[in-house]
Structures are given as C-alpha cells and as structure tokens.
Amino acid sequence: MSISVLLADDQHLVRAGFRSLLRRGRDIEVVGEASTGDEAVRAARKLRPDVILMDIRMPGMDGIAATRLLAGEGPKIIILTTFETDEYVFAALAAGASGFLTKEIDPEGLRTAVRVVAAGDALLSPSVTRRVVGEYAHRPVPAAATPGGNRLAVLTDREREVVRLVATGLSNDEIARQLVISPLTAKTHVTRAIAKVGVRDRVQLVIVAYEDGLVG
C-alpha cells in the first residue's frame, strides 16, 4: 500500500520538484497540492493523506496555523523550512508537526523522511534538534503546549534518562549504545514515556523535556 502525500508550498517549482522526486519512490503517491495554508487544510480534510509536506511561509494562513488546525486529525506533517532564517520551526513542532526538512534535502533523504513519519516516528536529527529546539525551547510559543508543572515526574529514572537523550537528538540506536541496552529496549522506553506523559509523539516529548527543564 502506497504512502499518500499532500504538497503545500506557495512556489509551483518547489512543488513540482518535490512531486518529481517523490514519484520515484514506488511506495509513495502524491495525491494533491496546495499553495496556501487554507488550501492545505481543505485538501487534507478532503484527501486524507498520510503525510503533508508543509511550507511555513505561505499567503493567508501560514503553515503553523494550518498545522495547528490539522494536528490530531490523522496526517503526519513535515515542515519545510530554509532553516537558517526561519524563526518559526519550534512553534510548528509545538503546533503538531512530526519534524522538519530543509528544502535542500537530497532526493533519497526526502523519500526516507516521508516513510519515517508515515511509520509513526519523528524527524529529529541530532544537529537540527540541538540547534533549533535548543534555541527556541524557552521562547514563548503561541497556543502551543501549555506548561503544567513537572510532567516528567511520572517517569522512572531510566525513562527520564532516555527522554533526556532523545531531547539531545539521539536516535534509538544511539541511545542503546550509550546506555548499553538493545535498540528495541530503547524504543520501548521512548514509547512508554510518550504514553505516560500524554503527548502525541517523540517531537512533543522533546518539547516537554525542554519546557520542564530536563535539558536546556
């Protein structure tokens, strides 16, 4: 069964380029396109894609607002950003995105990213996580996560340690090597932490870790 993707970007050439690259993956199908946040929301609710590639800066409703409206409705959202100049990446993650990509990503990296989020994981590479989340975690995030005391108190010591490593950008395999456990055990700790804290995914878990002072 193919992974359905919606492209949301105000630049036609960008959409055409991503469409061409994604079509080379036999397990990926581009089912629709949008040039504004409003169009993205309407298209997402009509087409029910598995994944949305969402640009942040679009006319009218921007990608953050569109992401916030669609969070919890089913599709996994990957934010597209120029990274060096975009100040809204953290807000987009807090709004419900599963990760983000720079528009300079290589073709195979793009297809892999779509597969990763479609499978329920998050795009949190070490370099991008440390730089972006570390920079924006303590800034006000409009209408995003609401602080509510120490939400990590429900975790065991081991789970807290795993969450701390997740928040520094380590993958399950890297966490496993550092803690001398199996990758499956690392993944299990992450999954349990997500359930206990009551967040949607790995991205939200990282945000809570920063907001509650576990890292920072």
How many CB atoms sit inside 10 A of residue 185's CB? 15
pLDDT at 145: 45
pLDDT at 135: 59
Task: Tell me how far apart the terminal alpha carbons of the chain are, to the nearest angstrom.
Answer: 41
What is the dotted CATH code of the domain comprising 151-211? Answer: 1.10.10.10
Rounded Cα–Cα distance for residues 75 and 34 (Å) = 15
pLDDT at 85: 56
Spans of all domains in the chain: 3-123, 151-211
pLDDT at 143: 42
Strand partners for 53: 7, 78
Check if the beta carbon of residue 57 is closer than 8 Å to that of residue 108.
Answer: no
Check if the beta carbon of residue 78 is closer than 8 Å to that of residue 110.
Answer: no
Nearest to 114 by CA among 72, 81, 76: 76
Tokens of 78: 């990957």
Per-residue pLDDT tens, the chain, 216 aa: give them.
Answer: 799 999 999 999 999 999 999 989 889 999 999 999 999 999 999 999 999 999 988 988 999 999 999 988 889 999 887 765 556 677 777 788 888 888 888 888 899 889 988 877 777 655 555 555 555 555 554 444 444 558 899 999 999 999 999 887 777 888 999 999 998 999 899 999 999 999 877 878 888 888 788 876
pLDDT at 39: 96
- List all residues 6 or more positions away from 144 whose beta carbon is below 8 Å from its beta carbon: 91, 94, 95, 207
- Reported in sequence order, the residue ranges of the chain that DSSP labels E, i.e. its strands, are 3-8, 28-34, 51-55, 76-81, 99-102
What is the dotted CATH code of the domain comprising 3-123? Answer: 3.40.50.2300
Nearest to 78 by CA among 111, 113, 103: 113
